[in-house]
Chain A
């Protein structure tokens, strides 16, 4: 079955506002990565977390292995933040296999 449940599948924000994306895991994960899809379809790294929180500019991510979830918070959203965001997690048994969420399509409107 699916290891990673990502929500919401789509999100619309007005400029200057914020929200959170969430990934729930059906099993204990060792670490999580967050990506953003670029215009060509490849993935840009946003965060890698084995625990706790990380912040970069207007983005902040958290990972709780015990509670089986990770979040990506976006604050003060800008038009250029629009795009599709993915989480991906690795299990402790084999960190070479990444389990991807289905993605969140974020649209930031003026």
Chain B
């Protein structure tokens, strides 16, 4: 069975500071990987997906970027955080069926 690990569990950051969130998936070779974001009280929005190493497709633009440096790793980042980046970030992986990681709660002050 595949498992998804996300780090950090939670983060408090200042506006304008950089951010890097990580995600790894174990138990599935060549997985599709996804980043989602949910603002407090909002709906879940898909941000990025990646089918293979080095390739990332953007779904929603939120002044964030994503990279896939390894087959099992997906990174979400930005050089300058905005207040609007606060929320809950979920990484998902799999084939046609997506399985979700535990999430990272981000607070931007």
Contact = CB atoms under 8 A, between A and B. Distances in A.
B57 interface: yes
B90 interface: yes
B21 to A, nearest CB: 14
A40 B102 contact: yes
B15 interface: no
Contacts of A88: 98
Given A41-B103, A48-B96, A48-B97, A97 B43 contact: no
A110 B51 CA distance: 46
Interface residues of B, number: 21
Interface residues of A, number: 21
A103 B43 CA distance: 8
B57 A100 contact: no
Interface in B9-35: 32, 34
B100 A98 contact: no
A42 B103 contact: yes
Interface of B: 32, 34, 38, 43-44, 46, 49, 51, 57, 59, 88, 90, 96-103, 105
Closest 8 CB pairs of A and B: A48-B97, A43-B100, A96-B49, A42-B103, A100-B44, A42-B100, A42-B102, A41-B88
19 contacts: A33-B97, A41-B38, A41-B88, A41-B105, A42-B90, A42-B100, A42-B102, A43-B90, A44-B100, A45-B99, A48-B96, A86-B44, A88-B98, A95-B96, A96-B34, A96-B57, A97-B46, A100-B44, A103-B43
